[in-house]
Amino acid sequence: MIEIKNLTKTYGQIKALDDISFEVNDGEVLGFLGLNGAGKTTTMNIITGFIPPTSGTVTVEGFDVMEKPEEVKKHIGYLPEHPPLYMDLTVREYLNFVAKLRKVEPDKIKANMEYALESVKILDVADRLIMNLSKGYKQRVGFAQALIGNPKILILDEPTVGLDPTQVIEIRSLISNLKKKHTIIFSSHILSEVSAVSSRIVIIDSGRIIAQGDTRSLSRSIGGKNLRVSILGPKSSVLSAIKNVYGVKSVELAEVHDDVCTFDIEQAENEDIRKALFYEMAKRSYPIYALKSLDDNLEDIFLGIVKRGGAKGGRS
Amino acid sequence: MNAIYKKELKSYFCSPVTYTMIALFLLLISIFFYLGNLMSQDPNFGSTLQTGEYFLIFFAPIITMKLLAEEKKNKTEVLLLTSPASVVSIVLGKFFAAFTVFMIMVGITVIYPIILLFFGTLPTASIIGNYIGFIFMGALFLSIGLLASSLSDSQVLSAVVGIVSLFLLWFVGGIGESLGGVLGKILTWISPIYRYTSFANGLLKFSDIVFYLSMTGLLLYVTVVNTERKRWKQG
C-alpha cells in the first residue's frame, strides 16, 4: 500500500510536481502515464527515497519515506529509467552484490538470484559480463535487480523504452506475471502499453495529475471518439452513406488515393458507430480498407482531457 | 559495507589503471631507493619513504577519483541510495577498498628495507616510524581524495581537485611558520606534514595518531554529509 499526499517538488523556480495525491492498493498494477518531463521519474524517485519532496508525504506499508527511509527501501524494488548496472561485473556477480546491498539473508541469496534470473529469462547470460550484453538484456538485468529480495512493491520507470517489439511484449507479459506477487507502479508514455497491463491509470502532465481512474473507464472516456476510415468507392456517395449511419456527429474527407477515400469521423458522445458503419457499407458494397481510432496518442488525449476540463474518474 | 568493499576491490583489480598506478609508484620509489639508499650507501629507507609522500599527493586522488564520481556518471548511485544500506556504510566500504589498494602499494615496498638488511644493520625505529606515518598520511590523503570524488560526476575533475587540495595542504605548515602568531600556530597544527616529523624520527606520539585518525574520520563524515546533501538538494 502506497499513499502519496500533496506531493510537491520544486527545482528553484521550476515546479516539477504540483500537489500530487494518489494511492496504490496491495496487488494493484498502477500505470503512470505522461509525456517526457511530466514528472513521472521525479515522483518515482521520491517514492523510492532517492530524492526528498519539497512538501507532502509518501507512506509505504505504513512507513513514511522521510522518517523511516530504511524500512521503506526494504519493501521496494526499483528499476530506474537507466538501469543502474556495473559494466565490469557478470550478471551473477551483480545480482549477488545487489542481494547483499539489500541485506538479503545469506542462505536465501542463491534462491533469490535464481528466482530473479528465471523470472526475466536471463539464465543463459548469467555468467557474462554486463558490458557485453545487448540493450534488451541489460534492461532485463536491471529488471532482475529490482526483483532481488522479493520486495512487495515494484517501481518500474519506463521499462520498455528503447526495446524492440518482441522485447516489449516480453516485458509486458513479465509484468503481467509479476502482478500476482507484487504491487506494481510502472510508468510509460504509451497509452496502449499502460492499458494492456495495468488495472488503474494515473495521467500526469506538467507535474499535475490530470486524470485518474480504472483502466477500462478511463480508456473509454479519453480515447476512441474520433475514427479514421478508408473506404473503396465514389467519394460523394460514400460520404452520404457515412452521414446516414446513426451516431455520426460530423464527417470530413481527409484524402483520396486510388479510389480509396479516407474520412475522419467524429462520433457522438457515448456512441460506437463501428458496427453500424460496417453493415451500412456492406449493404452498399463499399469495402472498408482500414478503420482506426484517432485518439490513441497521448498528445491528443491530453488535449482532449484539458478541453473537457478533466475526464471521468475525477480531476485532482 | 562488506558488499561494497568487495565490489570496489574487484573493480580496482579489473582495471588496468590500478596496475599501471602501482607499477608507476614502485618505479618512482625504486629510483629513489637506488639513488638515496644504494648509491649513497644510506641504510635509512625512511628517507626514501619520506620522498614517497610527495608522490602520494598524486597517487591518493587517482586511487579515489572514480569511487563516487563514477557512480554518478553511470547512474548507479540510484541503486546504492535506494537500497537499505546506509550512506555511512557505502562511504566506508569505498574508503577501505581504496585503503587496501594503498596498503598493497606500501606492502610491496617492504622489499627494499629487506634488501638493505643484507648489507648491514638498519635504523629499525626510524623505518617503522616512517611506515606508520606513511600509512596514516595515506589514509588522510585518501579521505581527501574521496571527498573530492563526491563533489562531481567527473573523475578527472575529482582527481584535479584532490591533487590541488593536497598541494595546498602541503604548504600549510610552511605558511604557518612564516606567518607566526595564533593563525600561524593553527596552520602548523593542522599540517599533516609537520606531524609526520616525529614519526620519521621513530617517535610514536599519541596526539599525532589521534590527529591523523580524527582528521580522516572528519573528512569521511563530510563526504557522507555531502553525498546526502546533494541528494536532498537537487536529486
**Strands (DSSP E) along chain B, which ranges?**
none
Residues A202 and A169 in one domain: yes
Which value does ipTM take for this structure?
A: 0.86
**Phi-psi group of A135: left, alpha or beta (phi > 0 → left; psi -120 to 50 → alpha; rest → beta):** alpha
List the domain range (segments joined by +) for residue A269. 224-294
Could you give the CA distance from residue A251 to residue A266 in angstroms, rounded to a whole number? Answer: 6
A103/B10 CB distance under 8 A: no
Could you give the CA distance from residue B73 to residue B124 in angstroms, rounded to a whole number? Answer: 46
**Which residue among B7, B14, B235 sits closest to A97, beta carbon to beta carbon?**
B7
Residues A241 and A260 in one domain: yes
Q: Give the pLDDT score at A220.
A: 60
The four Cα atoms B20, B26, B32, B35 give a dihedral, to 10 degrees, of -100
Q: Give the pLDDT score at A312.
A: 41
The count of structural domains within chain A is 2
The label of the residue with cell 505504513 reads A62
Q: Give the pLDDT score at A190.
A: 79
Q: Which positions in chain B touch A100 (Cβ < 8 Å)? A: 2-3
Residues A212 and A251 in one domain: no
- For helices A91-101 and A106-119, the axis angle rounded to 10 degrees is 130
Could you give the CA distance from residue B22 to residue B26 in angstroms, rounded to a whole number? Answer: 6
Is there a domain that residue A33 lies in? yes
The fraction of chain A above a pLDDT of 90, given in percent, is 37
User: CB of B207 within 8 Å of any CB in chain A?
Assistant: no
Q: Give the pLDDT score at B136.
A: 94
Question: Which residue type occupies B7?
Answer: K
Most B CBs within 10 Å, among A48, A85, A90, A101, to test the B interface: A101
Is there a domain that residue A314 lies in? no
Could you give the CA distance from residue B33 to residue B7 in angstroms, rounded to a whole number? Answer: 34
The label of the residue with cell 478541453 reads A307
Residues A210 and A242 in one domain: no
Residues A75 and A132 in one domain: yes
Residues A253 and A163 in one domain: no
User: CB of B185 within 8 Å of any CB in chain A?
Assistant: no
Is there a domain that residue A305 lies in? no
Give the pLDDT mean for A51-75. 89
B11/A89 CB distance under 8 A: yes
Residues A252 and A209 in one domain: no
Q: Give the pLDDT score at A205.
A: 84
Q: Give the pLDDT score at A259.
A: 85
pLDDT at A224 over 80: no
Q: Which cell numbers hold the place of A300? A: 491528443
A86/B78 CB distance under 8 A: no
Could you give the CA distance from residue A276 to residue A245 in angstroms, rounded to a whole number? Answer: 6
B232/A49 CB distance under 8 A: no
Residues A19 and A148 in one domain: yes
The four Cα atoms B177, B180, B185, B190 give a dihedral, to 10 degrees, of -40
Residue A90 gets which letter from DSSP?
B
User: CB of A132 within 8 Å of any CB in chain B?
Assistant: no
Q: Which positions in chain A touch B2 (Cβ < 8 Å)? A: 100
Least confident of A63-72, A217-226, A271-280: A217-226
Per-domain residue ranges for chain B?
2-229
Residues A180 and A282 in one domain: no
pLDDT tens, position by position, A160-169: 887 888 888 8
Q: For residues B204 and B129, is the Cβ–Cβ distance under 8 A?
A: yes
- CATH code for position A126: 3.40.50.300
Is there a domain that residue A150 lies in? yes
A76/B76 CB distance under 8 A: no
Residues A127 and A191 in one domain: yes
For the ranges A28-37, A180-189, B152-161, the one whose mean pLDDT is highest: B152-161
Digitized pLDDT (tens) for each residue of chain B, 235 residues in all: 889 999 999 999 988 999 999 999 999 999 999 998 888 888 888 888 888 888 999 999 999 999 999 999 999 999 999 999 899 999 999 999 999 999 999 999 999 999 988 888 888 888 999 999 999 999 999 999 999 999 989 999 999 999 999 999 988 888 888 888 888 888 888 888 888 888 888 888 888 999 999 999 999 999 999 988 756 654 4
Could you give the CA distance from residue B174 to residue B199 in angstroms, rounded to a whole number? Answer: 18
- CATH code for position A251: 3.30.70.260
Residues A251 and A217 in one domain: no
User: CB of A40 within 8 Å of any CB in chain B?
Assistant: no
Q: For residues A228 and A292, is the Cβ–Cβ distance under 8 A?
A: yes
